Amino acid sequence: MSGYSKITPELGAEILRAAGPECEIADPELLEAAATDATGMVRSPELVLSLKSAVQVSALMRLANKFVFPVTPRGAGTGLAGGSLAEHGGVVLRLDEMNEIIEIDPVNLTARVQPGAVLADLKAAAAEHGLFYPPDPASLNECTVGGTAATDAGGPACVKYGTTRQYVLGLTCVLPSGEIVECGSRTRKCVVGYDLARLMVGSEGTLGVITELTLRLVPMPRAASTRVAVFDDIFKATAAVSRIMNAGVTPSAVEFIDAKCLELIRDLLPFEGVKKGSALLILEADGMPGSVAEEMDVMESAAREAGAAHMLAADDEAERAGVWDMRRRVSLRIHENAAVYVPEDVAVPLDRVAELVDRLPVFEGYHGLTVYAFGHAGDGNVHLNVTADDASKEEDVEACVTGLLEYVLELGGTISGEHGVGLAKKRFLPLELSEESVRLQREIKRVFDPNNILNPGKVF
């Protein structure tokens, strides 16, 4: 038993009196959408609200604390770990209507945004001022900025620019108690007290509801250049990654696509006659025109020395867009082609990527499954997609995932480089973190949320 209060009609009415009756979502389609996310898991809330201000969120949290019902905040539901699902029922709190891009400040190189702003909209608003907001998860056209902060979202650009954590200067959040607290600062540097802003980032909506963010922007790179390199096998490709990362340049993307993924996107390939078994790297440099050319020369040489069989230059915007479209379709096509599909997002030290990929056929053979590998090779962040062609193989998939994650930890890696823990990886957390680390984290959770009402059932 969860011990939470049910949202009775009376309690529901009280919540709507506090938050405003216009906040209730009643459309059956929207209610269905609020019960699931990109994992496909379903957890049905008892009430779905769409709030529009920190004050409303505060009113909701005060009631949640008083009556002890769960509140699960939610952006666009594009998460791949189930972090926005109402595991214990209660209220799902939609933040997508708090979507204002309040200010782009070109002198201070900052943006102030509400949490429900779509990431692509923020990126576009910054671009209008010649500025760049780097985080670029695959869901960037749908996901919300608040969601990317809650999960410390990444993407291909991280290899040069770092993850969302590095761009959050400050934020306002509503604590489970209903208190509204400012964390961090509007300045580019601040070392006053503990780093609560960074503690919020990546806490998956379990410590507070983010209601505003101040983000750091950087100048828009003036030029970019992309190469698609084909290698006869994945080992040559991963060897090229090490060589490139050790060549004294900072690429703005080093993505890889293994042979199985490549077969799924063969129709989109910019090459003819690519041999079966080949693997791709997508290499990118951005910045000032002079350095882009210099850096790309270095990266191309490294790739050729590592045995690149073909190399395609994509320097104009349309060609580059084509390459990235191809890259982004990989996971979609894996998903379409599989009856069971589990997207993992492990990360290992760069020099262990080859070992990890090398071991995949052993896992595939043992469990009778297909494991697709692609992702952010330059960060050692490998998307392992464990799939089965038959829905009856769920248990095999489960066992394979467990084995893979254990192997990743043996390699000195982490079970999640991007997606977070949520529900999906909760049971694996103790494989990576010590008892003492988990104890500290649970106690931090208790400091923020003594009644465990905010996004309960997640992470630990």
Does residue 111 bind its own copies (CB under 8 A)?
Answer: no
Touching its own copies, residues 319-338 (CB under 8 A): none
Q: Using CA of residue 173, residue 176, residue 177, residue 183, what is the dihedral sign? A: negative
Residue range at the interface with its own copies (CB under 8 A); choices 43-51, 133-141, 230-238, 428-436: 428-436
Does residue 380 bind its own copies (CB under 8 A)?
Answer: yes
Touching its own copies, residues 121-150 (CB under 8 A): 130
Between 70 and 208, CB nearer to its own copies: 208
User: Which distant-in-sequence residues (6+ apart) come within 8 Å of 56 by Cβ?
Assistant: 19, 20, 23
* Cα angle: 356, vertex 361, 366; to 5 degrees: 115
**CA-based nearest residue to 113, from 129, 132, 99, 128:** 99
Between 5 and 250, CB nearer to its own copies: 250
Pairwise CA distance, residues 435 & 280, whole Å: 40
| Minimum separation from the CB atom of position 27 to its own copies (A) | 33
> Do the Cβ atoms of 228 and 280 come closer than 8 Å?
yes
Does residue 166 bind its own copies (CB under 8 A)?
Answer: yes
Does residue 80 bind its own copies (CB under 8 A)?
Answer: no
| Minimum separation from the CB atom of position 34 to its own copies (A) | 24
Does residue 158 bind its own copies (CB under 8 A)?
Answer: yes
Touching its own copies, residues 199-218 (CB under 8 A): 199, 201-203, 207, 218
Does residue 425 bind its own copies (CB under 8 A)?
Answer: yes
Give me 247's structure tokens: 């060549």
From 13, 102, 412, 427, residue interacting with its own copies (rule: CB under 8 A): 412
Residue range at the interface with its own copies (CB under 8 A); choices 38-46, 259-267, 288-296, 355-363: 288-296
Does residue 410 bind its own copies (CB under 8 A)?
Answer: no
User: Which distant-in-sequence residues (6+ apart) come within 8 Å of 33 by Cβ?
Assistant: 77
Does residue 55 bind its own copies (CB under 8 A)?
Answer: no
Does residue 192 bind its own copies (CB under 8 A)?
Answer: yes
| Minimum separation from the CB atom of position 293 to its own copies (A) | 7
Between 45 and 420, CB nearer to its own copies: 420
Touching its own copies, residues 347-376 (CB under 8 A): 347-351, 376
Do β-strands 47-50 and 218-219 pair in parallel, antiparallel, or remain unpaired?
Answer: unpaired
Between 368 and 450, CB nearer to its own copies: 450
Does residue 460 bind its own copies (CB under 8 A)?
Answer: yes
Paired with 151 in beta bridges are: none
Between 269 and 433, CB nearer to its own copies: 433
Does residue 318 bind its own copies (CB under 8 A)?
Answer: no
| Minimum separation from the CB atom of position 70 to its own copies (A) | 19
Does residue 40 bind its own copies (CB under 8 A)?
Answer: no
Burial label for 40, CB within 10 Å (0-12, 13-18, 19+), is exposed
Between 124 and 190, CB nearer to its own copies: 190
* Number of residues lying near its own copies (CB under 8 A): 95
Does residue 287 bind its own copies (CB under 8 A)?
Answer: yes
From 97, 103, 106, 394, residue interacting with its own copies (rule: CB under 8 A): 106
| Minimum separation from the CB atom of position 337 to its own copies (A) | 27
Order of all β-strands in the sheet with 253-257: 310-314, 223-231, 279-287, 253-257, 370-376, 381-388, 340-347
| Minimum separation from the CB atom of position 140 to its own copies (A) | 17
User: Which distant-in-sequence residues (6+ apart) come within 8 Å of 104 by Cβ?
Assistant: 110, 111, 125, 126, 128, 129, 131, 217
| Minimum separation from the CB atom of position 71 to its own copies (A) | 19
| Minimum separation from the CB atom of position 108 to its own copies (A) | 5
Does residue 42 bind its own copies (CB under 8 A)?
Answer: no
Pairwise CA distance, residues 67 & 60, whole Å: 11
Does residue 182 bind its own copies (CB under 8 A)?
Answer: yes
Between 191 and 318, CB nearer to its own copies: 191
Does residue 266 bind its own copies (CB under 8 A)?
Answer: no
Does residue 30 bind its own copies (CB under 8 A)?
Answer: no
| Minimum separation from the CB atom of position 424 to its own copies (A) | 12
